[in-house]
Amino acid sequence: MHAISVRKMSFPAAAQLLIHGLVLYNLVITREKKMRAFEQFPGPPGNWLFGHLRQDGTDFSIITKWGEQYPYAFPLQFGPTSIYLTIHHSSYLKTVLASAGDNIAYTFLTSWIGEGLLVSAGQKWFRHRRLLTPGFHYDILKPYVKLMADSANIMLDKWETYAKTEQSFELFQQVSLMTLDSIMKCAFSYNSNCQTESGTNPYIKAVFELCYLVHLRWRWFPYPSETIFHLSPHGYRYRKACKIAHSHTEEVIRKRKEALSKEKEQDILLKRRNLDFLDILLCTQDEQQQGLSDEAIRAEVDTFMFEGHDTTASGISWILYNMACYPEHQQKCREEIQEALKGKDSMEWEDLSKIPYTTMCIKESLRLYLPVPGLARKFCHGYVFDPLRFLPENTAKRPPHAFVPFSAGPRNCIGQNFAMNEIKVVVAMTLKKYVLIKDPEHTPKMVPQIILRSLNGIYIKIRFSLMDLLPSSG
């Protein structure tokens, strides 16, 4: 009976069967090639189709155990053919990060953020990096601190309702609005009012959607196929979110160009305010007096709009969560911050270097909850929260690549000083005003997407810190 059904099979059905067979054959061959490439590195067994990770909030603890079992590197599978070598030893990492080669992990981001610094490679990357580096000079970053503090104050004022009731609330969404507000003011001199507008910010919502969909495409067969993803419901959602994100950045660029064009001489406008990142994008030129194309400008704005708010929001949210979990370290930070500010209500540039213990706590949180989980590294004592490991004498004992929260080598994060300054400002001002309290009913489940998020949100409680700062009557 089976032989007869095969002979009577129609041509379209036979062709479809053949195509499926060829796809499966190609899948097997590709997988075998990648497995052979990593055969020198033993690793944990994984599901043939779905890989190793579950995305249920347990992935990080599982990877940590595998890191102890396979102490240098091991293959990690995200799908039938998406297999990567996970490196977690500083000597291996140094060799990899010394290269300025293509960053294949971000391929699926191109249609969203274009070929900016995060995605581009070769001479294009070298040229853009050289042209944009002045945008993160000391003189450019210094005035940003006041703008960061202003954005932080808006968020902290909104939190007074939670402090009065000690009601549990979710951090990430609110911190994301604050960091978006901050990057818009600092890098683009643009007042978005996103923290005070009612309703969900469409750009923030689009970024959340895009991060989820890019990660889904990266790990779920057969979405690496451009055609299949484009035709899928997820592909439709991705294009819709991209349109929202692009319209947001295009408006920012358009308004700045209009402002510049109204001035007969550019110097007049630039003297009226601080030079920012967008000014440099629009005005920079190379040795041949060639500037950036409109396409390149939008790609860099899309890149920094995303990287400048979402990664920092992740870092700040997890740091505040850690402060709530470790009240003894929180109190030491608060005392140090009070001493540094000497009664002032806000952080200034000169104050950033006066909070060394708080800075060590920030670094320890970044070690445990790195905003970009693809760069996650583990060194001694795993998940024990110990800021003192970042004392100068302890840091000197470790290899330089044991802790790389902003990557290292030629492709390190160009905005790392901007990010650290903002983190210090927000953490210091938060701890000055509030005591952070862990919510035992909401334990976050880490999900490593493009940005480290929580499957169930990051919840804390707060109360005003003034009571804790008053002398005890006992």
CB distance 195 to 158 below 8 Å: yes
Q: Please identify which residue in the block is written with the tokens 């008053």.
A: 470
Half-sphere exposure of 36 (CA within 13 A, CB side): 6
> Residues near 371 by Cβ (< 8 Å), separated by ≥ 6?
311, 312, 314, 315, 318, 405, 451, 452
The verdict on whether residue 186 carries a ligand-binding annotation is no
Distance CA 406, CA 71 (A): 22
CA 409 to chain centre: 18
Residue type present at position 473:
S
The neighbour count for residue 354, using CB atoms within 10 Å, is: 18
Distance CA 2, CA 158 (A): 71
Structural tokens at position 128: 């853009």
Distance CA 166, CA 164 (A): 6
Structural tokens at position 301: 């704005």
CB distance 152 to 426 below 8 Å: yes
Read off the DSSP letter of residue 89: -
Read off the DSSP letter of residue 471: P
CB distance 272 to 250 below 8 Å: no
CB distance 349 to 343 below 8 Å: no
Could you tell me which residues are annotated as the binding site for heme? 413
Could you tell me which residues are annotated as the binding site? 413
